[in-house]
Structure 1
Amino acid sequence: MKSLLLILVLCISAGAFAQDVRVTHGVPAVVEKNFKKKFPTAKEVDWARKGDRMEADFDVSRVDHKALYDQKGKLLAWKCDVRTGQLPAPVLKTIRSQYKGYKVDDAEKVTRDKMELYQVELDGNPDVSLVFDKDGKVVEDADWW
């Protein structure tokens, strides 16, 4: 009985300290207001807490999006899926010249601080995940956050 109680307490404690917690309530009103203003046609919105930030996962016109907000309602970054043909020509040129034999598996456009970045997953041997600027240059140590 004590071991069952201990397991239950550990499970509850582990859940309390998880970094990616699904949020059903508790999205600050200013965050929700600014989200609805920026993405008025968003559908199927799911919120998650990412540390002290809030992340919305949603669809706009059947395209997957994510938006990251601070607690004061400031939009820090947002990204959406893009098709290979929607990648800037310099990005495609870099992929063709520097990653011959690779195929674009997944691509996302990231907007952060008025800067456009493109996260691209390439299928090949080995698979590669890269971030490009709009000029086709690989951006080191960049990620969505």
Structure 2
Amino acid sequence: MRTIILLILLVTGSYLNAQEVQSKNVPSIIINALQLKFPKATDVVWELENGLYKAEFEIGRQEFEVWLDHSGKLKRWKQDFDKEKLPGAVQSAIKKSFDGFAPSSVERLQEGRNVFYKMRLTKAKEKHKVLFTEHGKLLSNQVL
């Protein structure tokens, strides 16, 4: 349940306690942990958000956001994701519940072992912002 609440906060952008942090003020254990996990990260911007260090960066043309605790442990992360690579279960769920809708702005979210997919679904003038588990279960549906 805690994971779902955190992900809903991610989806809605309700993290209001973010404070930008200059790289020189980020503990080396945090920077080293990020570099070990994402050695090709470029243009890293740091924030302190609800007690976690948040790094926003790019690898190639793909955007990432990761949250690390004070020991450098990766707590959760999200990345831009290619809609063509959505798991079959998510594609089936879209077809079943949102037939005729096209996904866009897809993001892959991960917290621990839990993987989620956040996206916009559009059909004509109708739009939804949705969150699915990797197994195709719809967790959130916001009509836009």
TM-score band w.r.t. shorter chain: 0.7 to 0.9
Question: More displaced, 93-102 or 121-130?
Answer: 121-130
SS at match of 1:96: helix
Aligned counterparts of 2:29 and 2:126: Cα–Cα separation in 1: 43
Task: Give the CA deviation at 1:88.
Answer: 0.6
Structure 1 residue runs of 5 or longer lacking an equivalent are 1-17
Written as runs of structure 1 = structure 2, the 5 A alignment for 1:15-54 is 19-24=17-22, 25-54=24-53
Taking only the aligned residue pairs, the percentage that are identical comes to 24
* Aligned-pair Cα RMSD in Å: 1.8
Q: Which amino acid aligns with 1:22?
A: E
TM-score, normalising length: structure 1? 0.77
1:117 aligns with 2:99: no
1:132 aligns with 2:129: no
Number of matched residues? Answer: 124
Q: What's 2:68 paired with?
A: 69
Dislocated runs of 4+, deviation >6 Å = none
Q: What's 1:89 paired with?
A: 88
**Larger Rg belongs to:** 1
Aligned counterparts of 1:26 and 1:120: Cα–Cα separation in 2: 34
TM-score, normalising length: structure 2? 0.78
Task: Give the CA deviation at 1:95.
Answer: 0.8
